Chains A and B, each alone.
Chain A
């Protein structure tokens, strides 16, 4: 078996074919003998060789502050690889199985750099996916670009589409999220008066500035625009301020803990505003677990939701069986990404990262697991952006996250609460 593998590797046009020619007659005889012997068994000789697994790198924070989401991502990545393998692997590579190599980036930018480097140099990777947080993905993608290994990611930072050729982003970009939020506000009220509160970090500032720029064009009035220090002890002073601004909608650009406090305080104050929590911490099962019934009717935006297609629902059911939670935005997106990689590998007929990149750049799917995305189509433009990519507006309904916007992606009506 080992020999057959070796010699067919030699016959498949690979760079070191020349060197194998220089090897002795004995080697030659063994090789040809191997091929002949293999031929005697009919048309299946290459199967033993081709089952060489295809290595896919997965970079996620499974420890540190983002651990919880990172662990969920890894669970989804494993599920996706199993699904591809159970369906027969990569057929053009003789049914090669995908082999997931998980690496923990520890929610830390420095670790992300060294881990990405280590993963690429220590393994023969065909592609990478990761890393959940944009700040981490930006670094991983830099390293991957230099090593010429394609990376596919659900991270939304627009920076990922600038000057990169090995980075692919099949889902909505950060700049698109703001517009969707504003349009949703108009569906709830004819004269939306929005209070925007955001944590004074790079994430909060860039997201809220996007909202501020687009608001006039979308016919939405912003009555309060206020940064706050992340990690406060008490949300009531802030909500007191929202109350005195006379807003009827509240956009909160916050991480989970602040958002929990904000939502609870809004309810305590009996404030009648519709809340849009954006994406990130808002669209994960943990949010509902922490906020409970108060989450009902709250809106958000996501780049993926488990009800985008029947295929997505199928994966959701399986994921729920394994982890007890529904398939959340980022995890669901990366299942689709794994199938995009499988599609690219299939067409490339090679595990070579350069060829996989070529195949990804010509990816064009509109059905199956690879097309699980809002809109149901994936095709990459020259900047690595999915030209059909757009966010989906979601709303917590009966403990579940339902897609409610835009019309073509809506699975349930938007409740005006």
Chain B
């Protein structure tokens, strides 16, 4: 009995780590730039394809391709901010929504055209391995993904709290106008925020590759969870998104075990509704950090 519960919790935490990488990106962009990036899932997809092609063409381990997918997507993020988002930032929200939504559709259909709808998987020596600890199974690929995801989240936290640029980003997310008055260059901060957010999406893609299939629609699977986590953990709050993602992973897993295999998401959404009912600002307490 306890084994089943413990196993469910472990499964939930491990997948929650991946949700966290996606949702931290979304919440960072929202917090700093104040736009909702509907295309975040598609950048996860791009990260997966980068890892897939590096593994397939050059035999590079998907985990090592992290060092390619993250910088590439960082640059993409800077370019997206500088050439696209910067032009629609203004008092009206609509162009921003249309822009990121259009970006999502564009990337999705480009991927369909270039890579076809086929599923692509990468086999690594650890893809199908699992650690066996006292009756519990911990899949190695997922454990690695979880550890790296947590390390990246921690690194981001340190960056936001100790560096000038990180502090500038937090300042911009707390009050953009005052931050600008204090001499912070908004476009520079926004570019870095987009870059980091997309790099995290790329990292999620690379970390997923050893145990999940890449296909053009794959981002949509993860972005839904990310949006829920972002709201649950207070919009713009990085730590909140991280904790909410892990909670959602566990809630989903326990939901599948004890409510029904098609009800995992019901538990997640029930948790979201209850949180919003009693704490409308989300778990982060309404503060963007």
Contacts and interface: CB of A to CB of B under 8 A. Distances in A.
Contact of A292 (B123, B254, B262, B264): B123
B11 A257 contact: no
Interface in B210-229: 211-213, 215, 221-222, 225
Contact of B18 (A68, A233, A240): A233
Contacts of B254: 237
B257 A237 contact: yes
Given A238-B261, A268-B130, A244 B256 contact: no
B128 A267 contact: yes
Nearest to A200: B262
Interface string A213-257: 000000000000011110111101110110110000000000011
Most buried by B among A229, A237, A257, A260: A237
B7 interface: yes
B88 interface: no
Contacts of A64: 117
Given A233-B221, A261-B212, A241 B256 contact: yes
A68 B264 contact: no
Contacts of A240: 4, 7-8, 11, 253, 256-257
A282 to B, nearest CB: 13
Contact of A286 (B118, B211, B260): B118
Given A67-B117, A264-B211, A229 B15 contact: no
B127 interface: yes
Interface residues of A, number: 37
Contacts of B127: 264
Contacts of A200: 262
A231 B7 CA distance: 21
Interface in A112-157: none
A128 B117 CA distance: 26
Most buried by A among B119, B123, B257: B119
B116 interface: yes
A236 B264 contact: no
Contacts of A226: 260-262
Interface in B162-176: none
B112 to A, nearest CB: 8
Contact of A227 (B121, B132, B225, B260): B260
Nearest to B15: A234
A229 B268 CA distance: 13
Contacts of A232: 221, 264
Contacts of B120: 290
Contacts of A292: 123
B146 to A, nearest CB: 12
B129 interface: yes
A98 B267 CA distance: 57
B129 to A, nearest CB: 7
Interface in A185-209: 197, 200
Contact of B121 (A236, A260, A265): A260
A224 B86 CA distance: 54
A268 B137 contact: yes
A269 interface: yes
A281 B126 CA distance: 25
Contact of B225 (A229, A233, A260, A264): A233
B215 A236 contact: no
Contacts of A268: 128-130, 137, 139
A126 B201 CA distance: 53
B184 interface: no
A362 interface: no
B42 interface: no
A20 interface: no
A415 interface: no
Given A237-B11, A267-B128, A286-B118, A231 B221 contact: yes
Contacts of B225: 233
A241 B119 contact: no
A294 interface: yes
Contacts of A260: 119, 121, 213
A228 B256 contact: yes
A65 interface: yes
B62 interface: no
B219 to A, nearest CB: 12
Most buried by A among B19, B253, B262: B262
B253 A236 contact: yes
Interface in A335-375: none
Contacts of B14: 234, 236
B215 to A, nearest CB: 7
A265 B141 CA distance: 11
B125 to A, nearest CB: 12
B262 A270 contact: no
Contacts of A256: 119
Nearest to B250: A237
B256 A237 contact: yes
A237 B118 CA distance: 25
A68 B12 CA distance: 33
A146 B82 CA distance: 57
A344 B139 CA distance: 56
Nearest to B132: A270
A404 to B, nearest CB: 24
A33 to B, nearest CB: 57
B261 A227 contact: yes
Contacts of A65: 117
A257 B256 contact: no
A227 B118 contact: no
Interface in B222-241: 222, 225
Interface of A: 64-68, 197, 200, 226-229, 231-234, 236-238, 240-241, 243-244, 256-257, 260-261, 264-265, 267-270, 286, 290-292, 294
7 contacts: A197-B261, A227-B261, A227-B262, A229-B262, A237-B12, A238-B261, A257-B119
Given A232-B221, A268-B137, A270-B132, 13 more contacts: A200-B262, A227-B261, A237-B253, A237-B257, A240-B4, A240-B11, A241-B261, A244-B4, A264-B128, A268-B139, A269-B137, A270-B137, A290-B119
Nearest 6 pairs of A and B residues by beta carbon: A237-B256, A228-B261, A236-B11, A268-B130, A237-B253, A234-B15
